[in-house]
Amino acid sequence: MENLIQKFKFLISHRNNSSYKYVLALSFIFCFKKGKNKYRFDELMRFIIPFYFNMLRYKITEKSSGKQPRVLQNISDYSDKKHLRYLCEDDFIYLLKQNEKLFFACPLSCFENRAVSSFEGGNEFFSYSMKEKHIILSEEFFSLLSDRHARELLKDTVFLSLLKFLEKYNSIPNLYTKLSGSLCKKDLKKYKKLFTDQKSPLFSDACGICGEKIGKDLSIDHFIPFNYVACDEIWNLIAVHKHCNSYKNDRPGDERAYEKLCERNKKLYEITEDNPYFDFLKQELFDKFPTYQSLKKEMDDIYASCKSVGYREFSFRV
C-alpha cells in the first residue's frame, strides 16, 4: 500500500505539461464511491468539466502565452458564445459529450508514462478502454481509495503538485479555494417569484442598488459576485434593475448595503410554517443554515474573503 502511494506521488509530480493528469487523478478521488471499481468516462467528466469551469471563471491559465489545453479552450469558446453564468444543465451535458474522448485520450496513457494514447491500456492503478469508455480501478488502487484517510492524502498530493504547476503561470490569490470549489446551477428563474410575489418575504419592487421602482426590468443580482461565490444561494440574491446589475458587474456591495442584506436575511428566520414560502426557504436556506447566526458567520467570512482577494466594493445608492 505504502509502495503504491509512493508510485502515485512520483507519477503525479513527474513530467507534466498540462493539467490533464492531475485532473484525471482528482476525478478518481472525487468520484469514488464505496464498493464501486468501474467508472464510465461521463461519470468522471461530471467532476472534470466543473473543474475547468472554475479555471475559466477565475481566469486561471495554464500557459504563459499561446493556446490553452484543448478542453479548456473548447469550454472557453463555448462560454464566449453563451455567457458563462447562464450555462444550464443541457450545456453541461453537451460539453461533456464534446470533450469526453479528447480529454481521456491524453492523460490515461500518461499514467503509463507513454506519450501516445492507445485504445486499451492498463497500469498499476487502473485499466481503461476508449471503446467501452470506462476505467476499472486495479484491486490495489481500489482498496487504497476505499480508505478515507488515504483518499485525503492522495487528494492533497495531487492538489499540491497541481498548484505548483499552476503557480508558474498565475499570480492570483486563493488558487486552491478557487479550484476546489464546485460548480452550482445557475438557474435563477426559480428565484424570480420570490422577489415578485407580494406574499413572499423577499418581495420587493424597489431596486436593491438604486432604490427606484423595478417594474418589468427585474434582474437578480449576486450581492457578492457570482464569480467569487460560484453558486446561487438565496441569502446572496437581491432584486435589482437589469441595467443596475450590469453596471455593478463583478463587484460586491458596500458595507452599508451589506448590513442591509444581513437585516433582510435575519427577517427570513422570523417567518413561520404557515407562510407559503416556508418550505422553499427551508429547502434552500434553513436546512443548510439552521439559525441566522450560522448564516451570518458564513456571510461574514465570504464577504471579507471576497474583498481580501481584490474584489472592489460597489457603492449602492439606497
Question: 253 forms bridges with which residues in the sheet?
Answer: 314
Nearer to Zn ion, 154 or 237 (CB): 237
CB of 91 to Zn ion, least distance (A): 29
CB of 214 to Zn ion, least distance (A): 7
Q: State whether residue 251 is helix, strand or coil.
A: coil
Q: Taking the CB of residue 158, how many other CB atoms lie within 10 A of it?
A: 22
Residue, CB closest to Zn ion: 207
Q: Which stretch binds Zn ion (CB under 5 A): 29-37, 147-155, 234-242, 288-296?
A: 234-242
Q: What b/e sequence results for 161-171 when a residue is b if at least 16 CB atoms lie within 10 Å of its CB, and e otherwise?
A: bbeebbeeebe
Residues with Cβ < 8 Å from 304, sequence gap 6 or more? none
Q: Which stretch binds Zn ion (CB under 5 A): 2-10, 13-21, 126-134, 238-246?
A: 238-246
CB of 117 to Zn ion, least distance (A): 53
CB of 257 to Zn ion, least distance (A): 12
Q: State whether residue 294 is helix, strand or coil.
A: helix
Nearer to Zn ion, 169 or 247 (CB): 247
Nearer to Zn ion, 151 or 192 (CB): 192
C-alpha grid cell for residue 196?
A: 415578485
Q: Which stretch binds Zn ion (CB under 5 A): 23-31, 69-77, 200-208, 219-227?
A: 200-208
Q: Which stretch binds Zn ion (CB under 5 A): 10-18, 233-241, 249-257, 277-285?
A: 233-241
Question: 220 forms bridges with which residues in the sheet?
Answer: 239
Among 26, 87, 209, 302, interactor with Zn ion by CB under 5 A: 209
Q: Which stretch binds Zn ion (CB under 5 A): 5-13, 118-126, 210-218, 260-268?
A: 210-218
**Looking at residue 264, what DSSP letter applies?**
H
* DSSP character string of 70-108: HHHHHHHHHHHHS-GGG--HHHHHHHHHHHHHHHHHTHH
Give yes or no for residue 241 binding Zn ion (CB under 5 A): yes
CB of 213 to Zn ion, least distance (A): 9
Q: State whether residue 125 is helix, strand or coil.
A: coil
Rounded Cα distance, 231 and 225, in Å: 9
Rounded Cα distance, 100 and 49, in Å: 10
Among 4, 153, 210, 285, interactor with Zn ion by CB under 5 A: 210
Count of residues of this chain found to bind Zn ion when the rule CB under 5 A is applied? 5
Nearer to Zn ion, 12 or 207 (CB): 207
Nearer to Zn ion, 210 or 218 (CB): 210
Give yes or no for residue 207 binding Zn ion (CB under 5 A): yes
Question: Is the CA virtual torsion 70, 90, 227, 210 positive or negative?
Answer: positive
DSSP H or E stretch at residue 55: helix 41-57
Give yes or no for residue 220 binding Zn ion (CB under 5 A): no
Give yes or no for residue 244 binding Zn ion (CB under 5 A): yes
CB of 184 to Zn ion, least distance (A): 25
Measure Cα distances from 89 to 70, 187, 229 in Å. 21, 9, 19
Rounded Cα distance, 235 and 279, in Å: 16
Give yes or no for residue 183 binding Zn ion (CB under 5 A): no
Query: Which residues lie near Zn ion (CB under 5 A)?
Result: 207, 209-210, 241, 244
